[in-house]
């Protein structure tokens, strides 16, 4: 079984630039989640997809952030006009559809905004 | 409001010692799920265990065991005969049955260092 993959693994960008991250979930998983993790903290929920529908967004997800899952398979997370406070690890996870199914995480994309 | 507290920020033990990681949760839901994840230095979160709120049976898997007590809202994790490879950050997490997304609410993690 192929796990969750994320690309790129690392991204360094200058403040004000736009960045886009990709997540490929486990193939039979319908649910897809994005989380953000800063140093010394647990991951925080950003947004959730059931198939191609984005069903929930955290208040953490400002209007500079947008996520898509166009065909219910891979997902992208875009950050526009990056700020230094956006520096973090961005984690993608996927799960099956049953309530409480465990989420399996990808390796993350570490974003550094200079 | 939902919350997960891991009061132990860092624990250091010598190899072969037993160690318990504490997790206390808050939720108003009667149906919920609790999880433990391991984050080794490589950074990828690894799923260890899930319990649902209706199953208070303790579980053992090799050197790992979990003690779920609804009366104290705790879900503690014990590693027996710890090994250097157990060194990692461990996260406890909660998802609520009343939340259709089943998003995970994480604690702040406990960093475990096992010294040889």
Give per-residue pLDDT as tens, A14-29.
Answer: 999 999 999 999 998 9
Quick count: other Cβ atoms within 10 Å of Cβ B63?
A: 13
> Cβ of B43 and A89 within 8 Å?
yes
Strands (E), chain A: 5-7, 10-13, 19-24, 31-37, 44-50, 53-57, 65-68, 75-79, 88-95, 104-105, 109-113
What pLDDT, on a 0 to 100 scale, did the predictor assign at position B98? 80
> Cβ of A103 and B97 within 8 Å?
no
Q: What is the mean pLDDT of residues B21-41?
A: 95
What pLDDT, on a 0 to 100 scale, did the predictor assign at position A1? 57
Contacts of B100 in chain A (CB under 8 A): 55-56
Q: Is B39's pLDDT higher than 60?
A: yes
Q: Is B1's pLDDT higher than 80?
A: no
Q: Which residue among B47, B102, B103 sits closest to A99, beta carbon to beta carbon?
A: B102
Closest to A37 in 3D by CA, of B11, B46, B44? B44
Cα diameter, chain A? 41
What pLDDT, on a 0 to 100 scale, did the predictor assign at position A72? 85
What pLDDT, on a 0 to 100 scale, did the predictor assign at position B4? 98
What pLDDT, on a 0 to 100 scale, did the predictor assign at position B109? 98
Q: Which residue among A42, A100, A108 sits closest to B33, beta carbon to beta carbon?
A: A100
pLDDT in tens, A36-80: 999 999 999 999 999 999 999 998 888 999 999 998 899 999 999
Q: Which residue among A41, A100, A108 sits closest to B102, beta carbon to beta carbon?
A: A100
> Cβ of A44 and B52 within 8 Å?
no
Interfacial residues of A (vs B; Cβ cutoff 8 Å) = 31, 33, 35, 40-45, 48, 55-56, 89, 91, 93, 95, 99-108, 110
């Amino acid at each position: 079984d192929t796990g969750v993959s994320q690309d790129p693994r690392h991204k360094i960008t200058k403040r004000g630039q736009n960045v886009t991250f990709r997540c490929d979930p486990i193939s039979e998983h319908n649910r897809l989640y994005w989380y953000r993790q800063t140093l010394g903290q647990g991951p925080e929920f950003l947004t959730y997809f059931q198939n191609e529908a984005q069903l929930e967004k955290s208040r953490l997800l400002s209007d500079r952030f947008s996520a898509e899952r166009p065909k219910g398979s891979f997902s992208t997370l875009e950050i526009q006009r990056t700020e230094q406070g956006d520096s973090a690890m961005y984690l993608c996870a996927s799960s099956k559809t049953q309530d409480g199914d465990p989420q399996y995480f990808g390796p993350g994309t570490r974003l550094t905004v200079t | 409001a939902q919350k997960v507290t891991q009061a132990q920020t860092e624990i250091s033990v010598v190899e072969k010692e037993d160690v318990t990681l504490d997790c206390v949760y808050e939720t108003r839901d009667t149906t919920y799920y609790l999880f433990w994840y391991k984050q080794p230095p490589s950074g990828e979160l690894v799923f260890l265990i899930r319990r649902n709120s209706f199953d208070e049976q303790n579980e053992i898997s090799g050197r790992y065991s979990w003690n779920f007590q609804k009366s104290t809202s705790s879900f503690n994790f014990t590693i027996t005969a710890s090994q250097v490879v157990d060194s990692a950050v461990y996260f406890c997490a909660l998802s609520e049955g009343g939340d259709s997304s089943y998003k995970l609410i994480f604690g702040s993690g406990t960093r475990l260092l096992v010294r040889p």
